[in-house]
């Protein structure tokens, strides 16, 4: 369940749209991937169940740690035995934030990542799924072994040209600059003049 009461008016409409974007198929793919890498099993199905699965941040930290990348680790705080809810919420948020920092250190862009509040308030779980798919792509680019999801990023294909080749390329006129080989304004009415319509009569 969400940590705050459901909104009204426009905020409720936005929340409903966010929920409509959530994909059960993507959730199943991500949950299967997490299970293959960490052994952690999602119980239930749907946005609320997935949110509860990730809420304390330990699953996310286990996922990052499963990549075994040097210098990148996530050591979650334990929330066991904490009776004060506010303290528990704070520790859970810290764990999620540690995951986000580790993902950024791996090379993920901040724009591709969810915010802690998206899980805490159950406000945009489709963004959480997108982040996890992007994380899979970054892990593949780092040559991490094992189960993977996401599209593998293309590698740079840098080319070096000698001075003669570069000089020859400067003499080629790109099509964006125009060409005199195809249709032109030649023989047409000049700019600003009235259109001449002539009817031929036999």
Burial pattern 24-61, b for ≥16 Cβ within 10 A else e, equals eebbebbbebbeebbeeebeeeebeebbebbbbbbbbb
Domain ranges across the chain: 17-141
pLDDT at residue 191 in the model: 67
pLDDT at residue 15 in the model: 66
Mean pLDDT, the chain, rounded, equals 82
SS3 for 152? coil
CA distance linking residue 44 with residue 104, whole number of Å? 30
Q: What pTM did the predictor assign?
A: 0.69
Residue ranges, the chain, pLDDT below 50: 1-3
pLDDT at residue 40 in the model: 93
pLDDT at residue 93 in the model: 92
CA distance linking residue 128 with residue 135, whole number of Å? 10
pLDDT at residue 1 in the model: 43
CATH of domain 17-141: 1.10.418.10
CA distance linking residue 113 with residue 134, whole number of Å? 8
pLDDT at residue 170 in the model: 77
């Amino acid at each position: 369940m969400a940590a705050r009461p459901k909104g009204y008016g426009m905020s409720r409409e936005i929340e409903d749209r966010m929920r409509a974007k959530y994909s059960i198929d993507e959730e199943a793919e991500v949950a299967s991937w997490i299970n293959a890498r960490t052994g952690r099993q999602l119980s239930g199905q749907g946005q609320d169940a997935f949110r509860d699965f990730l809420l304390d941040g330990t699953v996310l930290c286990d996922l990052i740690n499963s990549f075994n990348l040097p210098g990148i680790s996530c050591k979650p705080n334990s929330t066991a035995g904490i009776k004060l809810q506010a303290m528990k919420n704070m520790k859970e948020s810290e764990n999620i934030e540690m995951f986000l920092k580790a993902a950024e250190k791996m090379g993920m862009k901040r724009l591709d990542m969810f915010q802690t509040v998206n899980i805490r308030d159950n406000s945009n779980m489709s963004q959480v799924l997108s982040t996890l798919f992007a994380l899979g792509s970054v892990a593949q680019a780092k040559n991490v072994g094992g189960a993977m999801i996401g599209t593998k990023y293309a590698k740079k294909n840098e080319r070096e040209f000698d001075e003669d080749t570069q000089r020859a390329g400067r003499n080629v006129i790109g099509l964006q600059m125009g060409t005199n080989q195809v249709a032109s304004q030649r023989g047409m009415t000049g700019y600003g003049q009235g259109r001449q319509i002539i009817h031929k009569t036999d």
